[in-house]
Structure 1
Amino acid sequence: MDMRFLESFVTVVESGSIADAARRLDLAPTTVAQQIRALEADLGSRLLMRAGRTVKPTVAGARIVDHAKQLLEGVQTLRSAASDTGLPAGPLRLGATPTALTGLLPPLMRRWMHVYPDIQIYVEPGTSSLLLGRVQDGSLDAAILVHPAFELPKTCGWTPIRDEPLILLTPARMRVTDPLLTIARHPFIQYDRKVVAGKMADDYLRRQGIRTKVQFELDGIEHIAQLVAEGFGVSVLPDWPGLGSPDPRVRRWPLPAPCPSRQVGMVWVRGSPRSPLADALHAHLDSIPEARQQQKTRP
């Protein structure tokens, strides 16, 4: 049995689409489909079926998917044990939120590529909650994400990288003397209240007695910033990092204290067979300027 075929099967099940799985695996969709057919012929059972526009496992496929994951993890562990680099076999499987991917991750990736040129990095973007789950189930070696509103399990390691206080984001032409009055008077773009910072912003405004005129509610800080730049309203967002010069079409304003912050950091599982990769990455967090500042300010 070819382990590559099992990997394609598991990836299709996780993504719900042969096309999406092909993108994740860097293969042609026809190649993935051929691998699935070969695996089905080897096992003598149909493993996948169409469900509208998605693909889902058959009864037989659902029965074997967990076993397939265990086999793939076992092969990865075997390769790691046989590695002569002093670290488990690559790639380093790293998750990152969209804002971390564009703001915090590039200097860390440059350092990693300089120190470990033979260990590739696989980066998976996603929401903080999704990435945390994938770290805990072993699908990712580590992730840079927003600390959840609950305590992490003791099996997880956590290092803070950056604190991001809430700020008011307005079009650059807007003049603000009272941030709270500005929020109350202008159309408001609500950061999704199902994510940590979105709920944090909503709770903050409620404590301040502010009733907003919500025009839109959506996830994605960059998307909200684009709408603000186009003049659709104002928003309360975490003070996120970015690449290059700040967008001249928007301006950030501090909010009255006490103003909460979300914490962005790196999470990994301690003591797993692949944790040395996460430990090696952790050792190079000081390549991120914000992480160096965190280390200086910690007691």
Structure 2
Amino acid sequence: MDTRYLQSFIHVAELGSIAEAARRLDLTPAAVAQRVRLLEEEMGMSLIRRSGRTVAPTEAGARILERGRKVLRDIRDLRDDLSDSSDLAGQLRVGGTPTMVLAVLPGLVSRFLGGHPQVDIYLEPGTSSTLFRKVVDGDLDAALLIQPLFELPKSCGWHTMREEPLVLLTPAGMQVDDVHATLEREPFLRYDRGTVGGQLADAYLRQHGIRTRQRCEMDGLDAIAALVERGIGVSLVPAWVAARGSQLAVRRWPLPHRSTKRVVGMIWTRTSARTRLVHSFLELVKDWRPEE
């Protein structure tokens, strides 16, 4: 079996789109479709079904999906195990939330590759929940994300990079004498309650009986900050690390009462065959400071 066919099928099944799978694999949609067809011919069964522009695995495809992921992981691990070089080499797969990709990972990856030129780093952006699951499943070696509000499995390691209290975000020119009154008076841009930070903000509002004039609910702290800068509303968000070069005219106001902090850090799987790579990257993460 050509593992490239299996890889293409897994991407199509997970993404639900041949076009999106082609984009991720840097191939044409026709090439991806051909790979899936060749795999189906080799397996002697249909693996995906099409419905308009979307695709989904058939019952047979769903059965081999998880085993296919494991096969690809085992092959990747085998290549790393066979490397007898004393220098760090191989591929390190690292995930990051949008904030981490913009503000933190560029500096870390640059320093890591500068010290270990034989290492290939694959970067995958995503939400904290998606990246967490991929680390647990072994699809990623590590990820920089928001610590979940539940206990982490013992198969994973964790390093806290920073703790972020909630702050009131306003246009730079707005004067605030009472944070709670401002939250009730001004149009409110709610941070998505599907995120950890959004849940913490919602809990604070409920705890203190603050009724907001909600204008929208959205994910993306940089997007919220851009709206706040234009005077479209105020927001209650974690004190996140802004990307280098970001010069939005906004101001962060501390809250009058203590709030639960959002915890940002690195998670990794302890069972990775690339333990040396992970630990070397972790050393850089431990030395990271927000001003990088």
Per the normalisation by structure 2, the TM-score is 0.94
Matches of 2:87 and 2:156, distance apart in 1: 20
- What amino acid does structure 2 have at the position aligned with 1:206? R
**d(CA) in 2 for partners of 1:175 and 1:278?**
46
CA distance in 2, matches of 1:171, 1:86: 53
| Deviation per residue, 1:152-188 (Å, 9 max, x gap) | 1122100011111111111222111211111110110
CA contact (8 A) 1:80 1:87 kept: no
1:177-216 equivalence runs, <5 A = 177-216=177-216
The alignment partner of 1:252 has SS state of strand
Give the 3 Å change call, closer, same or farther, for CA 180–219 of structure 1 in structure 2.
same
Report the equivalent of 2:50: 50
The answer to whether structure 1 residue 265 and structure 2 residue 234 are counterparts is no
Aligned to 2:14: 14
- More divergent stretch after superposition (267-276 vs 155-164): 267-276
Q: Is the 8 A contact 1:87 1:276 kept in 2?
A: no
Deviation at 1:260, TM superposition (A): 2.5
Letter in 2 for 1:57: P
Q: What is the percentage of aligned positions where both structures have the same residue?
A: 49
Local SS of the residue matching 1:289: coil
Aligned to 1:78: 78
SS in 2 for 1:176: coil
Give ranges in structure 2 of 5+ residues lacking alignment: none
Q: 1:217-241 CA distances to partner (integer Å, 9 max, x unpaired)?
A: 1111122112212222100111111
Q: CA RMSD in A?
A: 1.9
Deviation per CA, 1:92-144: give whole Å up to 9, x if none: 11110000111111111011111121211111111111110000000000000
For the Cα contact (< 8 Å) 1:96–1:124, is it kept in 2? yes
Corresponding residue pairs, total = 292
Alignment of 1:25-174 (within 5 A): 25-86=25-86, 90-174=90-174
Which amino acid counterpart does residue 35 of structure 2 have in structure 1? Q
Deviates more, 1:131-140 or 1:221-230: 221-230
Q: For structure 1, which runs of at least 5 residues remain unmatched after alignment? A: 293-299
Aligned-residue offset at 1:247: 2.9
Distance 2:86 2:19 in 1: 36
3-state SS of paired residue (2:24): helix
SS of equivalent residue, structure 1 residue 21? helix
Alpha carbons 2:226, 2:248 under 8 Å: kept = no
1:165 maps to amino acid: P
Q: Counterpart of 1:183 in structure 2: which amino acid?
A: L
2:256 is matched with which residue?
Answer: 256
Asked if structure 2 preserves the Cα contact closer than 8 Å seen for 1:80 and 1:88, the reply is no
Offset at residue 86 of structure 1 (A): 4.4
Does the 8 Å contact 1:161/1:290 carry over to 2?
no
8 Å contact kept, 2:92–2:274: no
Structure 1 CA distance for aligned equivalents of residues 186 and 87 of structure 2? 54
CA shift at 1:88, angstroms? 7.9
Contact 2:187 2:234 in 1 (8 A): yes
- 3-state DSSP of counterpart to 1:283: helix
How far apart, CA to CA, are the structure 1 residues paired with 2:245 and 2:62?
Answer: 48
Secondary structure of residue in 2 paired with 1:27? coil
CA displacement at 1:200 relative to structure 2: 0.5
Partner-residue secondary structure (3-state), 2:31:
helix
1:177 aligned counterpart, secondary structure: coil
Counterpart secondary structure, 1:120: strand
Once the two structures are TM-superposed, the CA of residue 81 in structure 1 deviates from its matched residue by: 0.9
Aligned-partner SS, 2:231: coil
Q: Which amino acid aligns with 1:277?
A: L
2:50 match: secondary structure:
strand
Corresponding position of 1:236: 236
Task: Work out the CA distance in 2 between the residues paired with 1:121 and 1:280.
Answer: 13
Aligned counterpart, 2:23: 23
Structure 1 letter corresponding to 2:288 = I
The CA distance in 2 between the partners of 1:211 and 1:180, in whole Å, is 9
The one-letter code sitting in structure 2 at the alignment partner of 1:195 is: T
